[in-house]
Amino acid sequence: MDSELTYTDALEVSGLTRAFGVRKALDDVSFTLPKGAFLSIFGPNGAGKTTLVKVLTTLLNPSKGTARVCGMDVVRDAVELRSRIGLISHNPLLYADLTAEENLLFFSHLYGVPDPERRVRDLLVNVELDHRRLDVTRTFSRGMLQRLSIARALLHHPDIIFLDEPYSGLDPHAMDILDELIAQIRGEHTLVMISHDLTKGLELCTHALILADGKVVLQQPKTDIDEGLFRETYRATVGMGVA
């Protein structure tokens, strides 16, 4: 694998369509995102946000169009691309009957992480779960699961991290910890976050995108955003009744 693959745009999406039967969850979506940026994706329920992330993370194939992530095609280069992607979802994506350490070691072995024991130990310290490393994750709180989920997503040093509603269901303290962890990783990685929270999403992002009914309604760098107009556009999409 060429670990020094050069690219300027972390995401290059062109005419992307994904249909489920006759229903188009994504309809001719096109946009780009520069390397190192933080994109917040907003939209009402059923707008196609999660489908977009699933296509960009190679979990779903597009029906039409192309998408390149970190310079690689999501269909043709899927296996290689997966080693450059991290995903933090509202689901923890962790095995409830394995310990925190066993979960991270398992994924380390799938990704071929060098010196996995040391990497796992360092990450558990980083997410403040070292003291619970031998406990099965079934016993973890939602906040602890989310922190461990971040450690899992960072294990293999991905270039780009997708966050699918990562704040969902967290208490304020757990949200603060997640804020700190995101602040730590944002300089080193391109981040793409799905959020329903306009204030939080706009606060964190460098670029913002609104999806509604599978289409891109608005995409702008944060520097160009008129927050009032942006909020109004978002409210209008929620009112489109696509949920």
Interface residues with another protein (CB under 8 A)? Answer: 1, 3, 57-59, 61, 79-80, 82-83, 85, 87, 89, 91-98, 102, 106-107, 109-114, 136, 152, 156-157
| C-alpha 193, offset from chain centre | 5
Q: 3-class SS at 117?
A: helix
In the complex, the smallest distance separating the C-beta of residue 87 from another protein, rounded to whole angstroms, is 6
Contacts of 79 (CB under 8 A, 6+ apart): none
Candidates 121, 124, 169; CA nearest to 143 is 169
In the complex, the smallest distance separating the C-beta of residue 19 from another protein, rounded to whole angstroms, is 14
In the complex, the smallest distance separating the C-beta of residue 95 from another protein, rounded to whole angstroms, is 6
In the complex, the smallest distance separating the C-beta of residue 199 from another protein, rounded to whole angstroms, is 27
Distance CA 32, CA 219 (A): 9
Nearer to another protein, 15 or 112 (CB): 112
19: β partners = 24
In the complex, the smallest distance separating the C-beta of residue 153 from another protein, rounded to whole angstroms, is 9
Nearer to another protein, 110 or 240 (CB): 110
Nearer to another protein, 38 or 107 (CB): 107
Distance CA 200, CA 194 (A): 11
Nearer to another protein, 60 or 212 (CB): 60
In the complex, the smallest distance separating the C-beta of residue 63 from another protein, rounded to whole angstroms, is 13
Nearer to another protein, 161 or 204 (CB): 161
Q: What angle do CA 206, 157, 202 make, to 5 degrees?
A: 15
Distance CA 112, CA 180 (A): 28
For β-strands 190-194 and 160-164, DSSP reports them as: parallel
Nearer to another protein, 28 or 77 (CB): 77
Nearer to another protein, 89 or 195 (CB): 89
DSSP 8-state class, residue 51? H
Q: Alpha helix (H) ranges present in the chain? A: 49-56, 78-82, 100-111, 116-126, 142-154, 172-185, 198-204, 227-238
In the complex, the smallest distance separating the C-beta of residue 239 from another protein, rounded to whole angstroms, is 30
